[in-house]
Amino acid sequence: MSVWRNRGTWRYRVQRAGRLIAGSARSRQEALDCEAAALRDLHARRIGAPLERTLAEAIATYLASPEFASLKAKRRVIGRLEALREHLRGEAIEDAHLVADRVVNAGINAGHSPYTTNATLRILRRVLWLALKKWDWPAKPQKIRLLPETHRQVYLTQIEAKRLLAELDGDVRAWVALALYAGLRAGEIAALTPANVHGDLIVLDPETKTRRPRTIPILQPVRTALARLPLALGYFAMYKQFGVARAAIGRPDVRFHDLRHTYASWLAQTGANSVDIRDLLGHTQISTTDRYMHLSVDRLREATARIVRAKPPRKRTQKPRKAA
């Protein structure tokens, strides 16, 4: 029974009565947790029968998996996994719902939004899915349910967008224009190069957030921004200047991602359907796009309201002719 470090990873090994369990982990604590779980299985004489896998072991396996290695936002995922580990008490995979309950209660006590809590729960669900479907671990966990989310409804008007761009120049203006008039995510803007521009189209390859290719027609306000590609200014340096500009136009509540929502809202207001908006924004599910469709309904209400507001045409009265 031992734990040791080998080439950047931690290894563990447990052997009893000719039975051996060994594996790897990303930290010494993870290796100790996996070692303890293996020791419990050996003492319970469950070698030869399905082993009781723990969540700590599943997280360690996920961090060493090719799926995690292929992620672009590794630091963000590691942060969520660290938040998840705080609620582990050596539970088996079958007891994942107990950990989920602790995550939810901790989020409520800390005043976190449902979206923040769900980010941790989604990581938990992903690890469980991999364990059951990809790694073929024998377990029957209960379903992990997400909290209902209320999506932000913060948009800019066309006038506010022009005022915002007028406050900016250089690469910062390019960042904002690409989000406002092409609906690009921050990560997509940072990775954009002249190779993504094909005539009057921006073509994104499948290596985006949703792993789907995307084609976006180029609007006039975007052309100047595309001439500056690749943008030398990073996201955090840009966001500082963006914060000053949004305060200058009286909209300190606007986040950078709200510019992408603004693009979607403009599409809905001009009559674009859900499928078109989904394809332009690169959503994987039409339900994600449907949040903008109330804006299209508002446009229809305004159009029909003009019927009752319209005044009937005035009748022209003929003046009597004068006698000759």
- Which helix or strand (DSSP H or E) is residue 265 part of? helix 256-269
Position 249 scores a pLDDT of 95
Q: pLDDT-based confidence at 307, cuts 50/70/90? A: low
Instruction: Indicate whether 268 pLDDT > 90.
Output: no
Q: Is 65 helix (H, G, I), strand (E, B) or coil?
A: coil
**Where exactly are the structural domains of the chain?**
2-134, 158-306
Contact 103, 85 (CB under 8 A): no
Q: Which of 45, 8, 3, 39 is nearest to 21 (CA)?
A: 39
Task: Tell me the backbone φ, ψ of residue 214, rounded to 5 degrees.
Answer: -150, 140
| Burial group, residue 96, by CB count within 10 angstroms (0-12, 13-18, 19+) | buried
Q: pLDDT-based confidence at 309, cuts 50/70/90? A: low
Enter the tokens of residue 177. Answer: 């224009």
Contact 187, 244 (CB under 8 A): no
> Is the sign of the CA dihedral 70, 190, 158, 252 positive or negative?
positive
Instruction: Indicate whether 273 pLDDT > 80.
Output: no
| DSSP secondary structure string for all residues of 223-239 | HHHHTTPSP-S-HHHHH
> Is the sign of the CA dihedral 72, 212, 201, 219 positive or negative?
negative
Mean predicted confidence (pLDDT) in 27-41: 80
Q: pLDDT-based confidence at 160, cuts 50/70/90? A: very high
Mean predicted confidence (pLDDT) in 181-189: 90
Enter the tokens of residue 19. Answer: 């039975």
Taking every pair of Cα atoms in the chain, the longest distance, rounded to a whole number of angstroms, is 131
Give the list of residues 6+ apart from residue 138 with CB closer than 8 angstroms, or none: 50, 51, 53
Position 177 scores a pLDDT of 95
The answer regarding whether domain 158-306 maps to CATH 1.10.443.10 reads: yes
Q: What pLDDT, in 10s, does the model give residues 127-136?
A: 999 999 888 8
> What's the length of the chain?
324
Q: Which of 117, 9, 8 is nearest to 60 (CA)?
A: 9
Q: What pLDDT, in 10s, does the model give residues 214-228?
A: 888 899 889 999 999
Q: Tell me how far apart the alpha carbons of residues 131 and 140 are, in angstroms, rounded to a whole number.
A: 11
Amino acid at 108: I
Q: Which of 102, 138, 129, 98 is nearest to 117 (CA)?
A: 102
pTM confidence score: 0.58
